[in-house]
Amino acid sequence: MLADGELISGAVIGEQLGISRTAVWNHLNQLQDWGVPVKKIKGRGYCIEGGMELLSRQRITEALSPGSKTLLRELHLLDHVDSTNTIARRQIENRVGSGYVCMAEMQTQGRGRLGRQWVSPFGRNMYLSAIWEFQGGAVVLEGLSLAVGVAMCRAIESFGVEDVMLKWPNDILLGGRKVGGILLEMLGDPVGCCQVVIGIGINFAMPEEAAIDQPWSDLGGHKTVTRNALAGRVLSELLPLLSGYADTGFQYYKPEWEGYDAHHGKKVQLLTPGKVVEGIASGVSDSGAICLEIDGKRSFFSGGEISLRSLV
Ligand code: BTN
């Protein structure tokens, strides 16, 4: 009711929802606690200045490519969740398979790589998790998270946004600052049939004061992008990639990944659990491992616990 930005009285909200004034007040407080800027105008009612675009099945579906429409089995839109990756994992336990996608307006326990938190305020950004099932186990999945990074760059660029790049393994950068991230979680048999949860977060309109411990960016300044259209284009790139990945592998996406590589030819530091390694970033292998040139020799590094830092 408030999303259109119009002023509405507490009495009308209560009447339309069939709830008391106190219940309306509690809901509005809840929205404010979630960071939704509900403005109270004394004696007249409430509004959200400028309105906000909530997730809409119709708008997301309108933005889907014909090919991705047939691959999308279920689109589950939620308000308030712990983590969309957790929701998707639960669906796998209920035997839901490839093509299930869930999105939420807000996550209370959004998670990132390396045990980090993913800041996920209400109605601001994109939080999406998809399920895909693969035969052949972990080997088939090599490089998948990097390939998904390529798909995200394509989706963002399709709106005419420039300066989109990737930081190994799969941070999405805009103007050199992190605008999105990808978290893959695998369930099932690591050498047989396994299910993967592909979690994607893209900052759309992050509040200025967000407590994020690294340089970040959002798509807010790009007026051509709307949250629902973004979700539609993300799925239009992601679902065909997932359905073809057992055949293409990462090899197919590698040249494009290297084209987006923000660090190519630059001096970097890799933080691994045991040690810190320095070298010149020199692309990636066919399985998505990063290549560093160290004292003229090329070495490859892969695995989840490594993070890359730029050395200027
Ligand atoms: C990273 O860069 O550290 C990965 C961030 C992944 C965030 C997304 S938001 C949707 C999905 N649900 C989560 O809890 N995490 C992923």
Q: How confident is the model at residue 304 (pLDDT cuts 50, 70, 90)?
A: low
Closest ligand 1 atom, CA of 181? 2
Q: Name the catalytic one among 154, 178, 227, 254.
A: 178
End of a domain among 258, 277, 292?
258
**Which is the closest atom of ligand 1 to the Cα of 111?**
14
User: In angstroms, what is the C-alpha Rg of the chain?
Assistant: 21
Active-site pick, 21, 40, 266, 309: 309
Q: Do 76 and 209 lie in a common domain?
A: yes
CATH number reported for the structural domain that contains residue 297 in this entry: 2.30.30.100
What's the CA-to-centroid distance between 306 and ligand 1, angstroms? 17
pTM over 0.85, yes/no:
yes
Q: What confidence category does residue 262 fall into, taking pLDDT thresholds of 50, 70 and 90?
A: very high
Say if 5 falls within a structural domain: no
Residue 266 φ/ψ, nearest 5 degrees: -105, 155
HEC readout, 99-143: CEEEEEEEECCCECHHHCECCCCCCCCEEEEEEEEECCHHHHHCC
At residue 221, the pLDDT reads 74
- The answer to whether residues 28 and 79 belong to one domain is no
Q: 275 falls in which pLDDT band (50, 70, 90)? A: confident
The 10s digit of each residue's pLDDT in 169-211 is 999 999 999 999 999 999 999 899 999 999 999 999 887 778 8
Residues 238, 211 within the same domain: yes
290 belongs to a structural domain? yes
Lookup: tokens for 130: 């998809």
The pLDDT score that the predictor gives to residue 211 is 85
* Residue 178: active-site member: yes
For residue 23, the enclosing domain spans 10-48
Q: What is the distance in A from the centroid of ligand 1 to the CA of 231?
A: 15
Distance 198 CA to ligand 1 centre (A): 9
Whether residue 26 is found in the same domain as residue 116: no
Phi, psi of 51 (to 5 degrees): 70, 180
Answer whether residue 214 shows pLDDT above 90.
Answer: no
The torsion of the CA quartet 220, 226, 228, 232, rounded to 10 degrees, works out to -100
Residue 25 located in a structural domain:
yes
Q: Are residues 246 and 208 in the same domain?
A: yes
CA torsion through residues 162, 119, 237, 68, sign: negative
Domain presence at residue 189: yes
* Pair 75, 147 in one domain: yes
CB 198 within 8 A of CB 89: no
Give every CB contact of residue 190 below 8 A, 6+ residues apart in sequence.
137, 138
Catalytic residue flag (residue 309): yes
pLDDT confidence of residue 213: 81
Express as a percent the part of the chain with pLDDT over 90: 84
The Å distance, Cα 111 to ligand 1 centre, comes to: 5
Q: Give CA angle at 43 (39, 48), nearest 5°.
A: 20
Q: Is residue 4 assigned to a domain?
A: no
Are 48 and 76 in contact by the 8 Å Cβ rule? The answer is no
- For a mutational test of ligand 1's pocket, the pick from 77, 89, 111, 126, i.e. the residue with the most ligand atoms closer than 8 A to its C-beta, is 111
Residue for token pair 């869930």: 102
- Ligand 1, residue 170: give the atom nearest the CA: 2
Would residue 42 show up in a list of annotated catalytic residues for this protein? no
- Let me know: does 243 contact 164? Beta carbons within 8 Å: no
State the chain's mean pLDDT as an integer: 94
Alpha helix (H) residue ranges in the chain:
10-17, 21-33, 57-62, 66-71, 84-93, 144-157, 227-248, 254-260
Residues 92 and 220 both lie in one domain: yes
Paired tokens of 248: 């293409």
Determine how β-strand 171-174 pairs with β-strand 177-188. antiparallel
Are residues 92 and 26 located together in one domain of the fold? no
Pick the closest to residue 111 from 177, 167, 179, 183 (CA basis).
Answer: 183
Do both 248 and 269 map to the same domain? no
**Ligand 1: lining residues by beta carbon, under 6 Å:** 83-85, 107, 110-113, 116, 118, 127-129, 171, 181-183, 199-201
Instruction: Give the CA-trace dihedral at 253, 258, 260, 263, to 10 degrees.
Output: 150
215-229: pLDDT as tens digits: 899 998 788 899 999
- Please count the CA atoms within 13 angstroms of the CA of 119 that sit on its side-chain side: 19
Last residue of a domain, one of 258, 283, 300: 258
Q: 172 lies in a domain?
A: yes
Give the total number of structural domains in the chain: 3
Q: Whose CA is nearest to atom 10 of ligand 1?
A: 127
pLDDT category of residue 41 using cuts at 50, 70 and 90: very high
Q: Would 222 be classed as within a structural domain? A: yes
Q: Is residue 2 part of a domain?
A: no
Residue 301 near residue 289, CB atoms below 8 Å: yes
Residue 160: per-residue pLDDT? 95
Q: What is the pLDDT of residue 312?
A: 67
